[in-house]
Amino acid sequence: MEFGKDFTLIGEEYRVQVGKEDFYIDLLFLNRELSCLVAIELKAEKFSPAHLGQLNFYLEALDRDVKKPHENPSVGLVLCTSKDDTVVEYALSRSLNPALISEYTLKLPDKKILQKKLIEITESSEFSDV
């Protein structure tokens, strides 16, 4: 996963406590260029407006309890397997928090690269005795 040189991973399953309850942000980064926290929620399903509600909750918790005074407001990203653009538009229309909704796809490396790696593995000393 590569976002660029200005992103620093703060944590996976980053815990924020609101009231007496614990909540976990899938991925939390600091963006040095933007000087803000970036919360990323990973969803192995189609986008739902509830995902945006969850993300906005996390952004509020970050801004109140985690961000430093000199940092800009936190931003969020929901990565999901698919989305209906009209549903996303409606969900984002009244949102005041900066958030993005994007699809992700799983992509295997090129077949030639996989074959080369398989040959390397099978020829390594670890597997040659098997």
CATH number for the domain that contains residue 61? 3.40.1350.10
pLDDT in single tens digits along all 130 residues of the chain: 456 788 899 999 999 999 999 999 999 999 998 899 999 999 988 989 899 889 999 999 999 999 999 999 999 888 888 888 888 888 878 766 556 566 666 566 677 777 777 777 666 545 444 4
Domain with 95 in it: 7-128
Residue 114 lies in a domain: yes
Residue 100 lies in a domain: yes
Specify the pTM: 0.70
Please name the residues in contact with 36: beta carbons below 8 A apart, sequence gap of 6 or more.
30, 67, 71, 72, 73, 74, 75
In degrees and rounded to multiples of 5, residue 127 shows phi and psi of: -100, -10
Residue 1 lies in a domain: no
Residue 2 lies in a domain: no
Residue 110 lies in a domain: yes
Number of domains in the chain: 1
Residue 11 lies in a domain: yes
Distance, CA of 112 to CA of 123 (rounded, Å): 17
- Our CA dihedral for 9, 19, 76, 87, rounded to 10 degrees, sits at 140
Please name the residues in contact with 15: beta carbons below 8 A apart, sequence gap of 6 or more.
22, 23, 24
Nearest one of 81, 95, 96, 17 to 49, comparing CA atoms: 95
